[in-house]
Amino acid sequence: MQCPKCHAPMHTYNRNGVQIEQCSGCRGIFLDYGELEALTRVEAQWAQPAPQAYPQQPAPPAYPAAPAWGAPHGGHGHYGHHRHKSFGHMLFSS
């Protein structure tokens, strides 16, 4: 993917399960639909003091670390189709 501003190549990074693209030239950041909200949510969770007596909501699931080339997590995973037949086969083959 190329930077819409300076046309240098953009590199993909994974931050707390949110996939972001950063330009290797001007360092600008590109966010897909919903990613700004996802980052804001993670930030708010980080900044919020721990609830004292009555926890209002369970924390959203924190995804384990994944590589930058990984699939976007958080609702996009193919495991949503619980065990696609083809993946079942893949689990057992070389």
4 part of the interface to another protein, by CB under 8 A: no
13 part of the interface to another protein, by CB under 8 A: yes
12 part of the interface to another protein, by CB under 8 A: yes
What distance in Å separates the CA atoms of residue 13 and residue 57, rounded to the nearest whole number? 29
The binder of another protein chosen from 5, 7, 11, 41 (CB under 8 A): 11
Region of 56 (left: φ > 0; alpha: ψ -120 to 50; beta: rest) is alpha
Tokens of 11: 């590199």
**By CB under 8 A, how many residues form the interface with another protein?**
35
Chain residues 34-73 in contact with another protein, contact rule CB under 8 A: 61, 63-73
What backbone torsions phi and psi does residue 41 show, to the nearest 5 degrees?
-65, -45
As measured in angstroms, the least distance from the Cβ of 9 to another protein is 7
2 part of the interface to another protein, by CB under 8 A: no
CB 25 within 8 A of CB 6: yes
What distance in Å separates the CA atoms of residue 49 and residue 45, rounded to the nearest whole number? 8
List of residues contacting another protein (CB under 8 A): 1, 9-13, 61, 63-73, 76-79, 81-84, 86-94
